[in-house]
Amino acid sequence: MLYDAFYQSLDYLFIIIPVMMIGVVAAEFLVEIGWIHKIGFIVSPLTRFAHLREECSISFITAFGSPAASNSMLKKLYDDGLIERKELIVASLINSFPAIIMHWRTLLPVFIPLLGTAGMIYLGILTAVGLLRTLVTLLIGHFLLGEKRYAPSNTIHQGTSFFNSFKISIKKSKKTIFRIITMTIPVTILVFISIDAKFFDVLATFLKKHAIFVPVPSEALPIIAAQFTTNIAAYTIAGNLLSAGILNTKEIVLSLLVGKILSSIVSIRILIPYYVGIFGSKLGSQIMIYSAILREGILIVATVILALSW
């Protein structure tokens, strides 16, 4: 029903839009009070190696708490002319790694009781893939972007009071927030209508039919199929197959990796409103595609190496 799709989109919007708004205002506020120079040193070696401006350091730190707020910060910096388009793309790709680390808090309570060692190995591989993607992006930034001149670490910022800085931040953020809201709402509703129309189910069914060509035992196909709906279901099935001795640790890990690769198309339903809402249609689509190519490409290589060497 269209009503269901509409209300589901509202639930999503009520969660994601406030986070984006906070990220935009926080970016402006941190610039306004001069904290860029005070705490940017924590990750400045990474951003300087990638030839990113020091403003990007704050977004990387923020990504450990909220990837949406982090990317909203980057878009605000881009709108203000503080960073260029290439810097925005590189910084956004780098910020994906903190999101993986923060994902541990939800995965560990599930993996340990259900999958034990197999779950820890799988989580370790995903973390290594995320770290490798960040390192590759740092190298890309190092050779793609021009070297910057960085301000001395003892730079003194002559700012106003916190209250006045906050008011100024809100005022400067209104235009960006309006653009995010007007872009995110229609795209999100359209995506959830597509979900209601079973568009993504058709894609998932197509990929599940072709899962027979992947190098995993036939007993592992229920794990892969379940990953098209919910990861918890896939982990539960995997845990049962492991405890029953039907699949061993290697087969469980490989099955989960293959399922993650094949079911990645399903994540588009969330990624489209997320990236387009923050960065706009053209730039958001580019960042989403670049991120997917790096993520899935490295994951495929890692899965093949693991299948051949384990």
Residue type, 149: R
Sign of the CA dihedral running 58, 96, 276, 198: negative
Longest dimension (CA), the chain: 66
Assigned token pair, 148: 């910057």
Please give the Cα distance from 269 to 195 (Å, whole number).
7
Assess contact for 20 and 277: CB atoms under 8 A.
yes
Give every CB contact of residue 192 below 8 A, 6+ residues apart in sequence. Answer: 5, 6, 8, 9, 12, 269
Residue (of 215, 296, 305, 213) closest to 260 by Cα position:
296
Is this structure's pTM higher than 0.75?
no
Distances (CA, A) of 242 to 141, 271, 280, 308: 42, 32, 44, 21
Q: How far, in Å, CA of 73 to CA of 57, rounded?
A: 11
Q: Which residues, 6+ apart, have CB-to-CB distance to 173 below 8 Å?
A: 21, 24, 25, 28, 76
Give the phi and the psi of residue 290 in degrees, each rounded to 5. -60, -45
Task: Return the SS3 of 138.
Answer: helix
pLDDT string in tens for the chain (310-residue length): 566 777 777 777 787 778 767 766 776 676 666 655 555 556 778 888 888 887 787 788 777 767 777 888 888 888 888 888 999 999 999 887 777 776 665 566 566 767 888 888 888 888 888 888 889 999 998 898 877 665 544 444 455 567 777 777 787 777 777 777 776 777 667 767 766 776 656 655 665 565 555 667 777 777 887 777 667 677 777 887 887 788 888 889 998 998 888 887 777 777 888 888 888 888 988 998 998 898 889 989 988 888 888 8
The amino acid at residue 107 is L
47: its two tokens? 């951003």
Q: Quick count: other Cβ atoms within 10 Å of Cβ 41?
A: 11
Task: Report pLDDT for 154.
Answer: 45
Task: Concatenate the DSSP letters of all residues of 41-56 into one string.
Answer: GGTHHHHHHTT--THH
**What are the residue ranges spanned by the domains of the chain?**
2-309
Count helices and strands (H / E) in the chain. Answer: 15, 0
